[in-house]
Amino acid sequence: LSRAHHVPEGCCKTTVLVKIFLKNCPRFPLQKMAKLTAVPLSALVDEPVHIQVTGLAPFQVVCLQASLKDEKGNLFSSQAFYRASEVGEVDLEHDPSLGGDYMGVHPMGLFWSLKPEKLLGRLIKRDVMNSPYQIHIKACHPYFPLQDIVVSPPLDSLTLERWYVAPGVKRIQVKESRIRGALFLPPGEGPFPGVIDLFGGAGGLMEFRASLLASRGFATLALAYWNYDDLPSRLEKVDLEYFEEGVEFLLRHPKVLGPGVGILSVCIGAEIGLSMAINLKQIRATVLINGPNFVSQSPHVYHGQVYPPVPSNEEFVVTNALGLVEFYRTFQETADKDSKYCFPIEKAHGHFLFVVGEDDKNLNSKVHANQAIAQLMKNGKKNWTLLSYPGAGHLIEPPYTPLCQASRMPILIPSLSWGGEVIPHAAAQEHSWKEIQKFLKQHLLPDLSSQL
C-alpha cells in the first residue's frame, strides 16, 4: 500500500488492497469458454458424481459452489477452491481442494460439506417419491465478500437431481390393524429380502433410508411407532408386540422373501431393534447404528413382561461451550459399568452389525457396542461384526448426506449435540452403507450366504 493511496478512516488496509487490485489489475484470466460438467446429472443420492471444469486458464484458481433448498425452503450451501492444471482443467476425482469447506481430494466434498444457512438445521427428505433434491453447482471467480466489490456472474452452472427412489420402486401407505408406516418395494417380481427400518427420538415417519434401501433391492418397511397418525404422541412404553405385528405384516407380503427379516436401526430405534432381535425368532440380521444395549428411557413390554429403563444420572448431562446438550455420559455410573442392566443379547438367534461413531455425543456408542460384543463372546457367540469409525458422530446416514452436528428435538427444549467431524463422518457414511447392504444380503439371501 503506497503513500499515494489514502486509507479512509474506518476502512481496513486489506479492503483497500483488494479494491486497488481489482481496479488496476486485469480481471482474472478465466475464459468465457469455461465448461462445468457433472455425470450423472440425475441419480440416486448414494451414487457418486464426477465433476469437472474445462476451458480455464492454466493454473487458474476457480471457486466451485453448491447449494440446495429443502422442502421448507431452508438453504444449504458449500464451496471449495481448486487450481486448474496446465491445460486449464479441474477434475474433482483427482485434484485437491485448496480451501473452503474442505481440503484435499474429495470427489463428493461439495455434497457432504453442505451447511445450513440457519443454525441447527438438518437435511431430511420428506417427500421421497415425487421430487428429488435439486443441487445447483456453479463455477465462479474467487472473490472476497467485501463492501462495494461487484461479484462477477458464474463462469458456468448446472443443476443435479438427487433421488431417494429408483425408477419402478413402489410406495404403499401402511395402515393395517395397529401398524403405521410405509412399505417400499423394489421393481420386479421378487421375492426380495425384507427389512424393517427404525428411527429414534424424533418420532414420526422417516422414509428416506427405507426408500433408498428399496432402490437397492430390499423390501423395506419404514415403521412408525410414536408421534405419527393415531399413534401415541409420546413414547411412554415400547410395546414389542406392536413391532412383532410389523414383522408378521412384512413376512405376509407375497414379494417378501422369508422366513426371516432384517432390521436397520439407529439411536432409540437401535435399542428397539436389539430388543426385537432377542425376543422375536424371525429376526435374522440386525444393524444397530449408535444405539444402547439396554433400556434407556421407556420400559419395554412383551407378553406381560416389563423391562424397566436403567437408572441415569442427570449430573453427567453436559452443556458444551456452544450451549448444546450432550447426553453420552448419562449412563456412565450404571449401564456403562454394570452388565446386569444389559439386554441378554446372547439369546438372539440372528446376526448383528454394530455401526459406531466414536465421536457420538448423544450416546456412548462405542462402550455400549463393545459391552454387547463382550457379552456375546463370553457366551461363545460369533454372530457379530463391528464397524467403528473415529471422528464419526451419532447421525450416520446414507452416503453424501451432510453432517448434522447439532439440531433441535421436538421433545426437548435444548438443542442436542450429535458430534462428528465433517471429513471422517462422510467417510464413515460411505463405507458403512456398502457394508450394511452386504451384511443384510449375506444373512437374508440363502443362496448368497451359502457362497460366503
- Show which residues are catalytic: 267, 360, 394
Kindly write down the DSSP assignment for every residue of 262-275, as one continuous string. EEEEETHHHHHHHH
Fill in the amino acid letter for 265: S
Kindly write down the DSSP assignment for every residue of 168-196, as one continuous string. T-EEEEEEETTEEEEEEE-SSS--EEEEE
Nearest to 291 by CA among 275, 304, 280: 275
Q: Count CB neighbours of 371 within 10 A.
A: 21
CA angle 199/262/362 to nearest 5° reads: 30
Which phi and psi (to 5°) does residue 228 adopt?
-155, 135
Query: How many angstroms separate the CA atoms of 178 and 230, rounded?
Result: 9
